[in-house]
Structure 1
């Protein structure tokens, strides 16, 4: 090895060390313990906006003493969960400084264009508190950076899972809830036809218009009955019908007649078109809100035909043996 080669190798080693010093995030440094968000009073927060790194977001707003999903037609939200998260944010401290460089922001996933959560709080007196949440070294700590600042902190008692960008994390997802035992009649209408069922006794059902040689498939009917009595949403869509929902000509309609001492009536669940994300739009007559649901929850309503409600004849039955 020549002298020149040794010099070049030495310079390369120095460059690698310097790059590591400049680019690598610092260890946790103890600094003065102060509020991460000075002046933030949890009781004054009137809006909480949370965005994920894949484009989804949720906007929660306070209306009087209640909270609603502002980007879901003011669908009722779970206020206790929201206020608990806001209290944790207000309690965050600056005593664990991790990094102070722009390069480290991407490594820790707290950059303006590379983050896990982007959170904004608005208060009743017009103040805004904005920050980014990134990687989590443990289940109880998360890297956090205030918007517009270089410093990144390791914050305890905050995690991205409880500060979710999904609407389903902040609302009661039970969209349809009926006592199945009170349902006395069911009609399913879809592209395959119209199929009607009636209750003849406790947990006894028949299918209308059965031929003499046909046997009712109770198992598949139960799938329809169960769906009509219980359905969970992934996201409320508001009270206003949109052309994209396809509700002028639903792809399927499920009608249930309910009779009980407390409530009697007829309810309808309409299934509209699929959205770009593959989820389906539904409208339950017992709610003023349209809702987005997982496609598997309505696939039987869309696809079942007459043959699905009939038992398949055995070879012995077909031959009379």
Structure 2
């Protein structure tokens, strides 16, 4: 099933979302800044968009097998795949690293997925997933590296524009690049600047831009469970080269501070990946724009550490 990532693919994905995906709420935060509350999406993250688009497109094309779908995921993509598969009446087999957050594993099983824990890195779970797909005939999905997945995620941008007229900048966290690639593709259509935020030690897109091609990077960050891809997708790199895009790296301390700040200031609970986008905004040496939207992309996290005392509060405020 041949696909390419362009704005037409994003618009086609939007048609497959109708009456199923929750349109993102855009709310004012600070002067000139709005939050796109995508953490309120089905399954707790933006990944539901790509999963829905991927499976419905295959259903429409007659390429959704009886063996169902399989995916390797740090958690959120697996949740979305299991949710979308249940809606399509097919089985989902999800491979995760053994260190995946327990809250995500439990929720996966709640969606009826067959959960298989393999290795301690995403790449190991991905290898096992590919072997399973070859043996079983299941449709192999991907956490981020597929045009249908990215196009589904890209539907967020037009919804943000509908909720925030005059949008000039959107800030988005980047792991493997599915969300970024889709959002940047749609943003380019409308002349919207994109700020791509990554942890300093999970910098797959930033490293690819420097190298001129996707390259493997080490993964070591508080946000690694969602942003810990060792290599960015080719679509993400292409989107970063073609549009008005800035690549920004943020330290873990700033991510922790942003996540706690969202809780203390707004009572918003998000995972570290979502806080990475806000950390980039807070750390910017100058304003990013007059009307800036920060995508809060996921909330599959244990909130207990937000209400517990911290040893050094100055380090996280």
TMscore range, shorter length: under 0.3
Normalised to the residue count of structure 1, the TM-score between the two structures is: 0.23
Flag the structure with higher helix content: 2
Q: Which one scores higher on RCO, CA 8 angstroms, separation ≥ 6?
A: 2
Q: TM-score, normalised by structure 2?
A: 0.24
Higher Rg of the two aligned structures = 1
Q: Is the strand fraction higher in 1 or 2?
A: 1
